[in-house]
Amino acid sequence: MAAPRNLIAVEPTSRPEMHLAMASAVQEAGGTVVPIGEASSLMFADPTAADSFPELMAQATNVEWVQLPYAGVETFVQHLDPAYTWTCGKGVYAPPVAEWIMTALLTAFRDIPTFARAERWPAPTGRNLLGTRLAILGGGGITESFLSLIEPWGCDVTVVRRQTDPVLGAARTVTTDELDDVLGRVDAVIIALALTSETQGIIDTGRLQAMRNDAWLLNVGRGGHVITDDLVNALRNNEIAGAVLDVTDPEPLPDGHPLWELDNCLITPHVGNTPAMGLPLIADRVRENVTRWIANEPLVGPVDVGLGY
């Protein structure tokens, strides 16, 4: 027997701020927060608690839809049962992450790490982002949001993705087959992909060698997109200008790791979207989707169970 669509569970409670934000959003959308045994759907409220998912779902007799809290769903992949409708935070966190990409590009090109570490007046170095050639790997919401932010800069942006569907604001969209050619032509390579078996380790020694010596690598996808040891070698040998990494493998990067020592590497601690930035954004998504769910309308941010993102 199907549960009334307005009865919605928000679980677990292990992350109180997210639980509160999601529960408030459910109520604002006209839903009622109930235990999972009575619920038509589940707002999963702790991105670090994927392991507790099977136990929680064992109590769910009528759940038809599951809303996940993050854009990346890789920790939930083994739980993605096609019997349910799945949605995630896809697109929700795109503007802050796109802002991180702009920050990282400007930080790198304008030599901010050198200046931040200086204890006396340094040499006047730096180059412009204006008018440069960039490649971004991935054609999702982050890329769309980034393209809107970089528009006034007059850059030539190539999007590299699985299919060639054009992305608004890009100079061109190519498939991953052409990645090596693109790498040799751009001033910066930005990884904004979902992590799948196809994209795991996509940046390795060969790909780093395909890049220009004066090009920067940015990673705001997942640490697993880059073979860390290969990157350390490329940075040590100045085969690329440098790297700005918001995600690392392993993550967090352990004390004493060689990347901490390299002047041409800047680590940011997975802050493309911080909890403080993201909470109001995921609450907006929950409010939107609960409204749609109760009205029996299509949900935003569907997860393709077959593709795993």
Shortest CB 197 distance to its own copies, Å: 27
- The nearer residue to its own copies, 58 or 116, going by C-beta atoms, is 116
Q: Per CB under 8 A, does 107 bind its own copies? A: yes
Report the side by side order of strands in the sheet with 242-245: 172-175, 156-161, 133-137, 188-191, 216-219, 242-245, 265-267
Is residue 270 flagged as an active site residue?
A: yes
How far apart are CB 158 and its own copies at their closest, in Å? Answer: 20
34 binds its own copies (CB under 8 A): no
Question: Is the preceding omega at residue 252 within 30 degrees of 0, hence cis?
Answer: yes
Report residue 75 as tokens: 């920790």
Q: Shortest gap between Cβ of 54 and its own copies (angstroms)?
A: 29
CB-based contact 225:202 (threshold 8 Å)? yes
232 binds its own copies (CB under 8 A): no
Q: Is 120 known to be catalytic? A: no
Q: Which member of 16, 81, 118, 180 binds its own copies (CB under 8 A)?
A: 118
Interacting residues with its own copies between 129 and 148 (CB under 8 A): 129-130, 148
- Residue among 64, 251, 257, 292 flagged as catalytic: 251
Between CA 126 and CA 123 the distance in angstroms is 9
Residue 237 in contact with its own copies, rule: CB under 8 A: no
Question: How far is Cα 25 from Cα 17, in angstroms, rounded to an integer?
Answer: 12
* 74, 270, 288, 292: the active-site residue: 270
Name the minimum Å distance from CB 268 to its own copies. 5
Among 222, 225, 285, 287, the one annotated catalytic? 222
Q: Does 99 bind its own copies (CB under 8 A)?
A: yes
Of positions 125, 163, 197, 296, contacts its own copies by CB under 8 A:
125
Which amino acid is located at 304 in the chain?
D
Distances (CA, A) of 85 to 75, 115, 146, 240: 17, 49, 29, 43
Which pair of structure tokens corresponds to residue 213? 């010596």
Q: Which two tokens stand for residue 74?
A: 């890789």
Give the number of other Cβ atoms within 10 Å of residue 122's Cβ.
11
38 classed as catalytic: no
CB 208 → its own copies: shortest distance, Å?
A: 22
- 296 Cβ contact partners less than 8 Å away, ≥ 6 residues apart: 5
- Residue 29's alpha-carbon distances to 7, 294, 299, in angstroms, are 11, 9, 14
**Which residues form the interface with its own copies (CB under 8 A)?**
95-96, 99-100, 102-103, 106-107, 110-113, 115-130, 148-149, 151-153, 252-253, 255, 260, 266-271, 274-277
By annotation, the residues acting in catalysis are: 222, 251, 270
